[in-house]
Amino acid sequence: MLREFDIKSDAKGRQIAFAIRFIKINGESVFLPRAIATGLNWNVSESRMRGIRPVNSELDPIGHIYPVRIDNITEWNGKRVIL
């Protein structure tokens, strides 16, 4: 899952969208049916964080960037994530 997450664009340079469900720090479950990876590259081994932004069908941003701990991702493209 993390390998797919790190691929941010296809061969034509278009961003790759995915569906994701994760748990926020306050315990709230968030489902984004279409989102892209965004933000600065963090050192995964140290921070284990990624930036995720919801987008519409044309990949236009429709919300704010969520900082997500990779350990809190529970679903990726409809598949349950088991750590």
Mean pLDDT for back-to-back runs of 10 residues, the chain (83 residues): 74 90 95 89 71 93 91 94 84
Q: What is the CA radius of gyration of the chain?
A: 12
C-alpha–C-alpha distance, residues 72 and 66, integer Å = 12
What does the domain layout of the chain look like in residue ranges? Answer: 2-80
Q: Do 74 and 80 form a contact (C-beta atoms < 8 A)? A: yes
- Identify the burial level of 56 via C-beta atoms within 10 angstroms of its C-beta, where 0-12 means exposed, 13-18 middle and 19 or more buried: exposed
Total-model pTM: 0.82
